[in-house]
Amino acid sequence: MAILTQRFLSRSGYGVGEGKAEEAAQLVREKDIETIIFDSRLNASQTYNLAKLCKVEVKDREKLILEIFARRATTAEAKLQVELAELNYELPRAKDKVRRAKAGEQPGFFGLGKYDVDIYVRMMKRRVATLRRKVEEVRGRREVFMRHREREGFSSVALAGYTGAGKTSLFNRLTGETKEVDKGVFTTLSPTTRRVMSENRPSWCPTPWGSSAGCLRI
């Protein structure tokens, strides 16, 4: 592994200065690096140019986070939301990526050359619409359960806090659950609701989403 830093990010075709991009390419050759992680956001052109220069796959910070989410999503709802987020990330880049793939495939652009630009974009938009509908259906079912608990007189309690603050650990302590706890970020992605007793009155305590936004109240 190797780390390159640049004080001010450039708006050049590589996302960094040309000299720094050449330095990255040299490190890739010397250390046999397979993937470059760029700690900022790159557009499709910058990703393509850097991948072409270094001859390895390039991922920006947003792409890496989405991949972590995809690996750790376990529930049907979480998987739907992650796929929707991935498509929303790719959609603005779709046209440029297909055009560049047709010119000659590079790492990270495999397979796109077989598509016509408009067909590929329409296909992605249809999938986005389908996923949004499914997510709304899941939310609707969750709201039915929430209204039922309200009618039964249960209080809903949400745990909110920054990533790694210990929300899941607290949830486990309060409920007797054994939800996975880890030092790595985004360990908790899916909400879970459990019943706890407070002053002889039952409440429902949901787990957090594991993001800086806190938890999803159920």
| CATH (residue range 153-215) | 3.40.50.300
- Which residues, given as ranges, of the chain have pLDDT below 50? 109-110, 113, 208-218
CA distances from 64 to 2, 28, 196 (A): 17, 19, 36
Cα–Cα distance, 188 to 80 (Å, whole number) = 16
Cα–Cα distance between 153 and 112 in angstroms, integer?
54
**From the candidate CATH numbers 1.10.3470, 2.60.40, 3.40.1000, 3.40.50, the one assigned to the domain spanning 18-130:** 3.40.50
The helix (run of H) or strand (run of E) holding residue 208 is: strand 208-211
State the pLDDT at residue 213.
29
Identify the pLDDT of residue 114: 52
Q: Cα–Cα distance between 118 and 141 in angstroms, integer?
A: 35
- pLDDT score of 69: 85
How far apart CA 71 and CA 3 sit, in angstroms, is 25
Report the pLDDT value the prediction gives residue 212, as an integer from 0 to 100.
32
DSSP 176-205: -------SSTT---S--EEEEEETTEEEEE
| Residue 35: DSSP 8-state | E
Residues of the chain with CATH 3.40.50.300: 153-215
Global confidence as pTM: 0.67
Angle at 68 between CA 204 and CA 95, to 5 degrees: 120
- The gap from C-alpha 64 to its chain's centroid, in whole angstroms, comes to 7
- Kindly state the tokens that stand for 74: 């376990």
SS (H, E, C) 54-79: HCCEEEEHHHHHHHHHHHHCCCHHHH
Bridge partners, 197 (sequence order): 202
What is the distance between the alpha carbons of residues 66 and 36, in angstroms, rounded to a whole number? 16
